[in-house]
Amino acid sequence: MSAPVASVPETFDCRVAFAEELSALAREDERIVAVCNDSVGSSNLVQFQKEFPDRLINVGIAEQDMVGVGAGLALSGYIPFVCGASPFLTGRALEQIKADVAYSQSPVVLCGMSPGMAYGELGPTHHSIEDLSWLRAIAGLDVVVPADPAETRSAVRWAANAARPAFLRVGRFKVPAVTGNRPFTFGAATTLRDGSDVTVVAAGTMVSRALDAAAEAAEQGVSVRVLNMSTIAPLDEDAIRLAMRETRGIVTAEEATTTGGLGAAVAAVVVTERTPVPMRMLGIHREFAPTGTTAFLLEHFGLTAADIRQAALALAHTDA
Amino acid sequence: MLVADPGTAAAWRRFRQEFSDSGPERRREMLRERANQSRTTDLHMIGRAGLGHVGGDMSVLDILTTLFFSVLRVDPEKPDWADRDRFVLSKGHTAGALYATLAAAGFFPTAELDTFAGPLSALNGHPNRVKVPGVETNTGPLGHGLPVSVGMAVAARLSSSSRHVYVVLGDGELQEGSNWEAAMTAGHRHLTNLTAVVDRNRLQQGARTEETNTLDPLDDKFRAFGWDVLEVDGHDHLALYDAFTAPRGERPTCVIANTTKGRGVSFMEDRVEWHHKVPSAEQIVAASAELAR
Ligand SMILES: Cc1ncc(C[n+]2csc(CCOP(=O)(O)OP(=O)(O)O)c2C)c(N)n1
């Protein structure tokens, strides 16, 4: 192996941290169970299955059944982590999520594995970019998007203790560690970099890109604040209002459709304030992706650090 | 949208003519050879792309080859012909097998196969009817093909067309409830113009079907939903041909095709890890040699 390039940080598949933490929790609390859809491998549950064969319920390729079974377990005192590839978990079982989980207030932890465009070349059927819009529309469902392995662990632990209907987006596309030792705090944005000109509100895979963008913008004399918005619903509205007061514009960045996800949530706060600030919403604009790897598609849809920087610079140079 | 390759389409027409003019031994040999060529093509596509569902591809290729090279009333040069038979690959993850088959029939140039899963390629990891002629509906999420096929069969009847609808389902796929909703509709409506082929290789993504969520007795299940059921060796081309073309009774037909996942490549056969593992360059050479025999 050749020497690593100094500027390229190590990156991680968050499913690994997710699975380790889930197994650790299961050792502490026998109410923890996992439910999956022929996805023992893709949900990284091989170790869990070895240790707790009876507590892994693999219903086969049947997502509606999977979520219903999860609700039944939750209503019987168990803490089910329902794990499946995010497009099928959310798309196929949306009504079960609405009726059996959210409306029934059954404390199921829905774990959307490999979300966004993590399944690159497998195409739009396997992309989960609508999930944030769909799920944010459902009352009483928490929507959580961790940004790195540490935050994923922390969010898994939070979900097990919270006993609320929740959705966790568990990333497969490799990301660097960005959150340091800050634990996941439900409902609160974390400021990963302070800044006074423009605020970038990012989630999941976009957070490290937002930090890179902020560093590059600083070299061009623009001070960019980066908020990691790991809870999409309910949204930390105070953090948005503060950003409106202290910076001149807001860029949102998400690996999802902008129709109803993070950008839309932030915009709903911004436009209902007395003095809105200009915004740019980065994401996918109601389009099915062409064929390509995840990295290719992120570039295709303008979701690189350079794109975020450009949007931030544009806002910094707009006279409000 | 890709367009037909007239030269290959003409060769396909000659193949179909020779097939109908030949006796059983020659017919068997023709389909066997054709299917194994597609297997080799597919292995190279997967190797190049670095992704694919090789086990299910090898499993389904005798079914696909028999359909496209001896059964389906289609015209690769007229993919929109209204009265064509309809073919739906419900187990859309085996798109590589479908692409290799469609290209061999001339629906689009074989050179296009080199782009499989590449940036901006028409040949996505799952089939897209908007870009690829011969693909009738977009699949990928399991459990969609049968309901859509039922709709196509109802439409054929409404428009008094003799076209037939064939749909290929994975066996693991049958765990999706949508299949049984559609099976009930097809049985209720006596859709004699519908044939569902189950690629019964007894493996799904992570384990054996019967260890995951039992499907047996599968024949009784379909019968109970109002279907006629035929069970055949899914690698015996003439048995498949007979099942696909046998006169239909009063009910839709389910052909349970008993298959082996990874068929034709000894080190892949019936091994669950080959669901979507990518063979190395050496493994592709070894596999191609086996298939050339
Ligand atoms: C709704 C849905 N859930 C899960 C998947 C992931 N998946 C892709 S292939 C597969 C296994 C399919 O098994 P089977 O139908 O038996 O096909 P085969 O073994 O012939 O490849 C799974 C679970 C999917 N594509 N769609």
* CATH code of residue A134: 3.40.50.970
Rg (alpha carbons) of chain A, rounded to whole number: 19
Whose C-alpha lies nearest to ligand 1, atom 11? B205
Dihedrals phi, psi of B201, to nearest 5 degrees: -95, 0
Q: Atom 12, ligand 1: which residue's CA is nearest?
A: B204
Q: A204 and A158, same structural domain? A: no
Distance, CA of B185 to CA of B187 (rounded, Å): 5
Q: Is the CB of B170 under 6 A from ligand 1?
A: yes
The distance of A247 to chain B (nearest Cα, Å) reads 38
Regarding the beta carbon of B56 and ligand 1, being less than 6 Å apart is answered yes
- CATH at A282: 3.40.50.920
User: Would B47 be classed as within a structural domain?
Assistant: yes
Residue A179 or A6, more confident = A179
Which atom in ligand 1 lies closest to the alpha carbon of residue B55? Answer: 21
Nearest residue (by CA) to ligand 1, atom 15, is B170
Rounded average pLDDT over A117-142: 98
In a domain, B178, yes or no: yes
Q: Are residues A17 and A152 in the same domain?
A: yes
Q: Rounded to whole angstroms, what are the CA distances from A313 to A150, A185, A214, A222, B258? A: 30, 30, 10, 7, 61
Q: What is the CATH number of the domain that holds B258?
A: 3.40.50.970
Q: Report how far residue A55's alpha carbon sits from residue A49's, in angstroms, rounded to the nearest whole number.
A: 8
pLDDT digits 0-9 by tens, B170-191: 999 999 999 999 999 999 999 9
Radius of gyration (Cα) for chain B, nearest Å?
18
The reply to whether ligand 1 has any atom less than 6 angstroms from the CB of A88 is yes
pTM for this predicted structure: 0.96
Query: Side-chain half-sphere of B281: how many Cα atoms within 13 Å?
Result: 1
Task: Give me the pLDDT at residue A1, please.
Answer: 42
Ligand 1 contact, B91 CB (< 6 A): yes
What is the total count of domains within chain B?
A: 1
Domain of residue B282, residue span: 6-292
Instruction: Quote the number of domains for chain A.
Output: 2
Residue A293's H or E segment, with its range, is none
CB atoms within 10 A of CB B82: 8
Q: Return the residue of B nearest to A289 by Cα.
A: B120
Residues A223 and A124 placed together within one structural domain of the fold: no
Quote the DSSP letter at residue A8.
Answer: S
Q: Are residues A170 and A216 in the same domain?
A: no
Q: In chain B, which residues have their Cβ closer than 8 Å to the Cβ of A58?
A: 206-207, 212-213
Pair A85, A33 in one domain: yes
Among A144, A176, A208, identify where a domain stops.
Answer: A176
Which of B51, B139, B173 has most ligand 1 atoms within 8 Å of CB, for mutation? Answer: B173
Q: Return the active site residues of A.
A: 63
Q: Is residue A148 part of a domain?
A: yes
> Residue A74's domain spans which residues?
11-176
Give distance in angstroms: CA of B204 to centre of ligand 1.
6
- Count other C-beta atoms under 10 Å from residue A89's C-beta: 29
Are A121 and B128 in contact (CB < 8 Å)?
no
* A162, A232: one domain: no
**What pLDDT digit, counting tens, does each position of A255-301 carry?**
999 999 999 999 999 999 999 999 999 999 999 999 999 999 999 99
ipTM of the shown complex: 0.95
Q: Would the CB atoms of B125 and A40 count as touching at under 8 Å?
A: no
Residues with Cβ < 8 Å from B207, sequence gap 6 or more? A38, A40, A58, B272
Is the same domain home to A143 and A206? no
Q: Is residue B1 part of a domain?
A: no
Verify whether ligand 1 is closer than 6 Å to residue B251 (CB atom): no
Give the confidence band of A120 by pLDDT, cuts at 50, 70, 90. very high
Percent of chain B with pLDDT over 90: 100
**Does residue A1 belong to any structural domain of this protein?**
no
